[in-house]
Amino acid sequence: MPRQLGDLEDAVMTRVWQWNRPVTVREVLEDLQRERSIAYTTVMTVMDNLHQKGWVRREVDGRAYRYTAVSTRAAYSAALMNEAWSHSDNPAAALVAFFGMMSAEQREALQDAMRIVLPNLHDEPADEPAGEATEDPAEDLAEDPADDAGQETGR
């Protein structure tokens, strides 16, 4: 599971994701220098580290490398959310708390995503035979969702 990117790693990956093409250290350096003073060797080291960690692949281009993202920012964000959610001792309460923190724009994006995902759910096999009683996650929420949710989001 992915570890959250550091500040400089995120700044570099943001450019790689936004540009969506193979990039050189020099291109990333020049763009970063618009915001901060930074050395070529620092950017080169960060990009090499990102390659070692599997975030980017690289190909030789003359005397330099061109770096390309291995996955999308959306996939990275989803993996981070999944990792955080999987550590909850009450995943349903964590989701309720998460949904409660969403802005109107985020809720609209969630609704759009659900319209894409829900039609495909009927294609997956059921976890349990039909007619068999299942545990109701709403019962767990009724106990005291604010206590659990507050603990999860305070980290």
- Residue range 6-52, pLDDT digits in tens: 999 999 999 999 999 999 999 999 999 999 999 999 999 999 999 99
| 7-19 and 73-86 helices, crossing angle to 10° | 140
Of the candidates 111, 110, 96, the residue with the CA atom closest to the CA atom of residue 143 = 96
62-71: pLDDT as tens digits: 999 999 999 9
Task: Give the pLDDT mean for 140-145.
Answer: 39
pTM listed for this prediction: 0.65
Residue 125: per-residue pLDDT = 57
